[in-house]
Structure 1
């Protein structure tokens, strides 16, 4: 069973993340989706409830848009509140050991921006090092991120974004089926 931690600050206006989530919901996979912004608009995350959700699942997908080369603030707050000493790390903190950690990221800018000579100056994987370290520190299996570029409605049509999202989501579903065997 897969848990999806959705961390989009304004999911109702999303095109790309909404398409990915819709594809996952219609995939036939056994998934639970926790929309952090809907659950915690005040950022007061119920750590116990979120820890219980993590315990119920073998694979956790973190679905979010890249914001200023990082995760949205609500996802950082989630990590700070939920991945606590004695639960996710430290003495007795092995509750997430062996679970799969899967980042799934939407990126507004075009692919050529994410190169050493591009506007972002770094590759997407370099912006994910904090996620990779979080997975290692909590003894989770880090899976390279699923991501796609070109999700900004200011730069691309809704149809282009949806098509990209569907393609990426299909690859994500294939991975999740393999991980759940």
Structure 2
């Protein structure tokens, strides 16, 4: 069974992330989905409950929209309080050792904007180094991020394009989970 930490502040309005979660639920893979915005609308995260969820799973997927070249605030807070000293790191902090760390996110802009000469000036993976280091620091197995571009209606993408790409994204995620033995 895989754990999905879903961190979308407006999940009810999402096209892409809703489809990804729906496809995961409909797959043959057993997943536990923790929508941390629904669980903690006041941002008062139950650290022990979240740590217990992490301990139950070999693979942890972090599903979210790419916000300001990073993650939504609640997911950053989640990492800050859940990956605590002597749980995730430190002399006795090996509770996440050998678990799979899978970033899975949606990017509103186009792929061409995430180039040296594009509007964003950097490739998406360059913004993910903090995720990779977090995985290494906690002795987790970092899995390269699974993401896709063009998830924003405001950026000119159509609903049909977004839905089709989200389904494709979900299939890539499901395939990765199967490869990881989930």
Using the size of structure 1 for normalisation, the TM-score is 0.99
Residues of 2 paired with 1:60 and 1:148: CA distance? 19
Aligned to 2:44: 44
Residues of 1 paired with 2:153 and 2:34: CA distance? 25
Residues of 2 paired with 1:6 and 1:20: CA distance? 11
Aligned to 2:172: 171
Structure-to-structure mapping, 1:92-171, within 5 angstroms:
92-154=92-154, 155-171=156-172
1:101-152 CA-to-partner distances (Å, cap 9, x unmatched) read: 0000100001000111111110010010110000000000000000000000
Aligned to 2:181: 180
Runs of 4+ in 1 over 4 A off after TM superposition: none
Residues of 1 paired with 2:54 and 2:97: CA distance? 11
What's the C-alpha RMSD, in Å, of the aligned pairs? Answer: 0.7
Q: 152-161 or 63-72, which moves further after superposition?
A: 152-161
In the TM superposition, residue 159 of structure 1 has moved relative to its aligned partner by 1.0
Structure 2: 5+ residue runs without aligned partners? Answer: none
Aligned to 2:84: 84
Using the size of structure 2 for normalisation, the TM-score is 0.98
SS of equivalent residue, structure 2 residue 93: coil
Structure 1: 5+ residue runs without aligned partners? Answer: none
Q: How many residues align?
A: 181
Residues of 2 paired with 1:56 and 1:38: CA distance? 21
Q: Do the aligned residues in 2 keep the contact of 1:59 with 1:180 (CA within 8 Å)?
A: no
Aligned to 2:14: 14
Q: Do the aligned residues in 2 keep the contact of 1:58 with 1:180 (CA within 8 Å)?
A: no
Aligned to 1:2: 2
In the TM superposition, residue 168 of structure 1 has moved relative to its aligned partner by 1.1
SS of equivalent residue, structure 1 residue 119: coil
